[in-house]
Structure 1
Amino acid sequence: MNDRLQQLALFVRVVESGSFSKAAREFGLSQPSVSRAMAALERRLTVKLLVRTTRQVSATDAGEALLARARDALLAIDDAESAARGADRLSGVLRVALPPGYGAWRIVPLLPAFFARHPLLKIDLMMSDRYENLIAEGADLALRIGDLPDSSFVARKLESARRLFIAAPSYLARRGAPASLADLARHDLIGGPADPGDETWVGRRNGRIERQAVSPRIYSRSAAGVVACAVAGLGVASASSWMCADALASGEVVEILTDYALDLVPAYVVFPAGRRPSQRARAFSDYLEQALAAIGEEKGSSADLEKPASRSSRSLPPHPLRNA
């Protein structure tokens, strides 16, 4: 990358991340090197582009004008190079933000086939149960679990899974198995990312909706933590079939209250607002849609998974949502 292109690329990431040090880490440079590059860019354009405070770096009006055009120019160059190489020779780094549980259970097993198609591509799996600002963190796309409130972020639904009640055999032997949602009032409960601030669990039985006020004895901010607590015999949990499939298969937990139907848990691929997705991001999204659809077809009419929906516009929430 020549100096002018690198300056523009650094400028974009400095503004998006609000930090010289973050941009430096992403490009493998020192912070002083990034500062010098930004100073050189301002001298070349004879205009002030950045405003620094003790907390962050932001763009001036001139910087904002440059930002949109620089993004488009860099993406156009990237797409042009990808087109020249061919669709099967994508290169560079694809940064994907995703929840650890869903990533480990559903996405990582699909990566070998994707790498076989694109041997020059690298992937940075930004696994976190926290929902970060995708642009600030430099993500090309994100995988999100749960219903997405309206916003300017565009998303495509990939698939849905059943949510079910689970508990360890040791816990059930000690406390007995609940026969109804109301029985949960007498049990230890495990809350998870789907339940922050929600003190009511809802299920449908015999065509009727039932609600039960709950007060979890233990709460985990991660899906893996919910399953681990259930396996340890700490109580009854509500979990998606994605996150508890292995524990169910091994017998570490069993499904209970099986006559209740709970809301499906959807999974979406989400693109950052304000910029066109790169060819790498589009290729990965298309691949996931196809691969997950194939899994759904193999399962046939299984109640555990719903086949991926056709492309739909939804949005990324400004705050944490549920993780499966």
Structure 2
Amino acid sequence: MNEVSIWMRSFVAVANAGSFSAAAGQVGVTQSTISKQIVALERHLGTQLFRRTTRSLALTADGMLFYEGALRALAAIDEAESLVGLVANIQGIVRLTCPLSLAESRMTAMIGRFLTLHPKMEIDLQLSDHALNLVSDNLDLAIRVGQLGDSRLTARKIGLARRIIVAAPAYLDRYGRPDTPSDLRHHNCMSYTLLSAGARWQFTSGDVAMVSGNFRTDSPHGLRAAAVAGIGIAANARWLFDDELASGALEIVLPDHELKSMPIHAILPSSRFVSARTRALLDHLVREFALDPLLSTASYSP
């Protein structure tokens, strides 16, 4: 990699991070080094790229123009490298985010297999059930479950989250076992507040149950704990409840009535070049999702 492309990558990192210190940490060099690289790039281009004050750092008009060009140029470099087989020896870091429960049950093992195939790679995995901002949080890739709300993002559907309804046997022994979706209106149905469907539970049959209850949470782990405690009936991705179903702490409610699945998307920042290492990880996850019956878009029979 020549000096100009190194400076260019540092410039993009500073522009995305909004500061030299943050960019230095992300690139893996000292703040002094990255500052010198930006000065060298500005001298090479014959223009000022950043407007600096003691409290802020902003792109100049020339800087904004160069930022767009730098993204395209770096994308072309990465594409060229992958075309000549360098993807087989990819190295560097990919910053990835996904929901905690999906990482625990599925994705951590997938990432482990990826790192075995690519030992020079590093993965920085940030777990959050809230949607992090890919640009401001300097993320290369996000895996999100549910409907997407931001059309500015580049999204690729890679799987489905198959959902089930569960409750503790003690709750069902006390309040009865629903036979049809309409019976749910007589039960304490708990809400996962980060799911846009909310109190509207839709089934593949076309049935819709409008549910209500006295417990809600923005944590799938909190929802699972509440279900195990016998507070009420819960609905979420099947992988969240696998261990509790196996132990008998929870049982499936309405086993003959399937909830509509939630889409799973891989998200890329639309304004940033996609590196060969990020593409390699994404391609690996696509293959892994296709092989998992609880994540694949292919038909599934429990």
TM-score by length of 2: 0.84
* Amino acid in structure 1 at the alignment position of 2:67: L
> Does the aligned pair in 2 maintain the 1:203–1:260 contact within 8 Å?
no
* In structure 2, C-alpha distance between the alignment counterparts of 1:89 and 1:174, rounded to whole Å: 59
* Shift, 1:67, TM fit: 0.8
Equivalent runs, 1:97-176 vs 2, <5 Å: 97-149=97-149, 151-176=151-176
* In structure 1, C-alpha distance between the alignment counterparts of 2:23 and 2:254, rounded to whole Å: 50
Tell me: CA distance 1:254–1:112, structure 2 relative to 1, closer, same or farther (3 Å).
same
Deviation per CA, 1:279-306, whole angstroms, max 9, x where unpaired?
1122222222222223349x996335xx
Deviation per CA, 1:95-147, whole angstroms, max 9, x where unpaired?
22211111222211222332232121111112212212212322222111112
Deviation per CA, 1:123-177, whole angstroms, max 9, x where unpaired?
1112212212212322222111112246142222222132121111232234333
Deviation per CA, 1:235-287, whole angstroms, max 9, x where unpaired?
21111112222222222211112233321112111221023422112222222
Q: Show the counterpart of 1:10.
A: 10
* In structure 1, C-alpha distance between the alignment counterparts of 2:77 and 2:198, rounded to whole Å: 51
Equivalent runs, 1:65-84 vs 2, <5 Å: 65-80=65-80
> Does the aligned pair in 2 maintain the 1:101–1:243 contact within 8 Å?
yes
* In structure 1, C-alpha distance between the alignment counterparts of 2:27 and 2:198, rounded to whole Å: 45
2:277 is the counterpart of 1:290: no
2:212 is the counterpart of 1:230: no
* Amino acid in structure 2 at the alignment position of 1:242: W
> Does the aligned pair in 2 maintain the 1:24–1:34 contact within 8 Å?
yes
> Does the aligned pair in 2 maintain the 1:82–1:91 contact within 8 Å?
no
- RCO (CA 8 Å, sep 6+): is it higher in 1 or 2? 1
Describe the SS at the equivalent of 1:87: helix
Describe the SS at the equivalent of 2:190: strand
Q: Show the counterpart of 1:320.
A: none
Describe the SS at the equivalent of 1:266: strand
Tell me: CA distance 1:26–1:106, structure 2 relative to 1, closer, same or farther (3 Å).
same
Q: Show the counterpart of 1:211.
A: 209
Tell me: CA distance 1:195–1:290, structure 2 relative to 1, closer, same or farther (3 Å).
closer
Describe the SS at the equivalent of 1:143: strand
- Unpaired runs of 5+ in structure 2? none
* In structure 1, C-alpha distance between the alignment counterparts of 2:25 and 2:87, rounded to whole Å: 29
Structure 1 outlier segments of 4+, above 6 Å: none
* In structure 2, C-alpha distance between the alignment counterparts of 1:158 and 1:199, rounded to whole Å: 23
CA RMSD between the two structures? 3.2
* In structure 1, C-alpha distance between the alignment counterparts of 2:226 and 2:53, rounded to whole Å: 44
Identity, % of aligned positions: 34
